[in-house]
Amino acid sequence: MEESEKKVRCLFGTDGVRDVANRGVMTPEMALRLGRSYVLYLTERGVPRPRIVIGRDTRRSGNMLVNALVAGMLSAGAQVLSLGVIPTPGVSFAIKQVKAQGGVVVSASHNPAEYNGIKFLNSDGHKLCDDAEASIEEYLGDNLIDDWRPTGASIGEVVERPDIAQSYARWLASLASSIPLLDSRIAFDCAHGAASDILHVINKNRGVSSWMLTGDAPDGLNINEGVGVMNMAHIASVVKEENAQVGIAYDGDADRVLLTDSLERVLDGDIILWVLARWLASQRKLGSGVVATVMSNLSLEEHLKKDGIQVFRCPVGDRYVLEMMKHRDSCLGGEQSGHVIISEFTSTGDGICTGFIFLRACSELGENIDSLVDTFDRYPQLLRNVEISRSRSVDPAFISHISQEANQKLMGQGRVLIRPSGTEPLMRVLVEAKDPQLMREVSKDLVDQIQLKCC
């Protein structure tokens, strides 16, 4: 394999391509080639001159990368609708509204401002599967990408469509209009990201005076800085200071949501899934059960089992959640981190929608938000990252053996999950148990064994 080809392999992680903007793989040169490759991928699958929507979050580097992507897509003959700043689920919304054949989001989600990323969506508004991303990577190393040169009227066009963000905001406002709890004192943390303008539009449309917005003044450099789902202490402090009933926080592209109750305690994705599953089941709209990742707490399974609701596990990553939802005919899935997909409303994780629907579910189920953390009573979890040698491979049989031994020690009162990091020379060791002392002992034993064998 040529050195130039090696550099473009394995670009895609669990959420698109991501790096420090203007460095590594996140340069305008690479963005242009990715744009061309994406159009070529669509064209060779029977979609000539595809219509593609593109949106971004509030990072300063966003314009640079969007312009490069658009140039690449136009040079390959695509028709591009540029949405400006809009949440990731807003791009998914736009794809369906204008019947586009694909979409692109420029965002690094919860990462600091110096990072940026590119993720591609299909005609259903879903993130591309692994095989599709692998095909796009292959085109990067193919001579066809440079030979594909439409001219004259075959060159693509770009149309600015900032109105679609307004349509998306109006749709969200319509969801919020029938939820009594949204008339209460609520604090929203927009993470200085793509949710900022959207929440202002919704607030204005509803004429609500009891909402408090924070993290709603993006300057291109402050996205996720001390705010948002990665810094829940901020929204908790606002809830306390403003005597709010609940706090709702998003990440930079607003596809994730976490909440705090009035006692400043975090309501994570597991609690959100627990409430939504029971609400959807009561309406006979849940499907076969709930999809959760391997990181979700065992308490989720225990509680939903009482209501006759099954939990299906999948690998970490919202694309794998969606794949399992399709496979199991489930209408609800999500991650502990706050990515939640409610298929009745969205085709991807939508933090703003999920937060609104969660409050609706609490209201209709008669749930006291301040009691949810106590009632859920999660198993204690201990996650440790163990550095391993880059030069030594990890024997899967060894990991399987020590995992089985550890699970025997837990005697059905917990579980063990050991998995390699996808980006660093680390093994992630998660131990979950009802007995905190036993949890710590099992965790220490596993870490010691891995260090002895793999370092």
Give the tokens for residue 295.
């990181």
pLDDT of 4: 37
Residues 156, 220, 316: CA angle, nearest 5 degrees: 80
Q: Dump pLDDT digits (tens) for 27-73.
A: 999 999 999 999 999 999 999 899 999 999 999 999 999 999 999 99
Q: Dump pLDDT digits (tens) for 348-388.
A: 999 999 999 999 999 999 999 999 999 999 999 999 998 88
Mean pLDDT of 314-338: 94
Mean pLDDT computed over every residue of the chain: 92
Q: By C-alpha distance, which of 4, 68, 83 is closest to 34?
A: 68
Whether 395 shows a pLDDT value over 60: the answer reads: yes
Compute the distance between CA of residue 392 and CA of residue 291 in angstroms, rounded to an integer: 35
Mean pLDDT of 293-300: 93
Whether 2 shows a pLDDT value over 80: the answer reads: no
Active site residue 443: no
Compute the distance between CA of residue 201 and CA of residue 352 in angstroms, rounded to an integer: 13
Whether 280 shows a pLDDT value over 50: the answer reads: yes
Neighbours of 393 (CB within 10 A): 9
pLDDT of 357: 97
Specify which residues 106 forms β-bridges with: 56, 118
Beta carbons of 320 and 349 less than 8 angstroms apart = no
Compute the distance between CA of residue 402 and CA of residue 417 in angstroms, rounded to an integer: 11
Question: Given pLDDT bands bounded at 50, 70 and 90, which one contains residue 287?
Answer: very high
Q: By C-alpha distance, which of 164, 159, 163, 146 is closest to 79?
A: 159
Question: Among 37, 61, 92, 109, which one carries the catalytic annotation?
Answer: 109
Give the tokens for residue 330.
């489930």
Compute the distance between CA of residue 157 and CA of residue 172 in angstroms, rounded to an integer: 30
Whether 215 shows a pLDDT value over 90: the answer reads: yes
Cα dihedral 430, 443, 422, 338 in deg (nearest 10): 20
Q: H or E stretch including 41?
A: helix 28-43
Give the tokens for residue 88.
């990731």
Compute the distance between CA of residue 184 and CA of residue 356 in angstroms, rounded to an integer: 12
* Alpha-helical runs (H) found in 258-392: 269-282, 298-306, 318-328, 351-365, 372-376
Mean pLDDT of 95-124: 96
pLDDT of 391: 65
Whether 114 shows a pLDDT value over 50: the answer reads: yes
* Alpha-helical runs (H) found in 44-117: 61-75, 88-98
Q: Dump pLDDT digits (tens) for 223-252.
A: 999 999 999 999 999 999 999 999 999 999
Neighbours of 205 (CB within 10 A): 16
Task: Considering only residues 196 and 10, tell me which one the structure prediction assigns the higher pLDDT.
Answer: 196
pLDDT of 8: 41
Whether 101 shows a pLDDT value over 50: the answer reads: yes
pLDDT of 392: 67
Which domains can be identified in the chain, with CATH numbers? 3-161 (3.40.120.10), 166-265 (3.40.120.10), 267-354+366-376 (3.40.120.10), 381-454 (3.30.310.50)
Neighbours of 433 (CB within 10 A): 25
**pTM of model > 0.85:** yes
Beta carbons of 406 and 446 less than 8 angstroms apart = yes
Percent of the chain residues topping a pLDDT of 90: 80
Q: Dump pLDDT digits (tens) for 4-34.
A: 333 444 688 778 899 999 999 999 999 999 9
Which range, of 247-251, 315-319, 352-356, 406-410, averages the lowest pLDDT?
Answer: 315-319
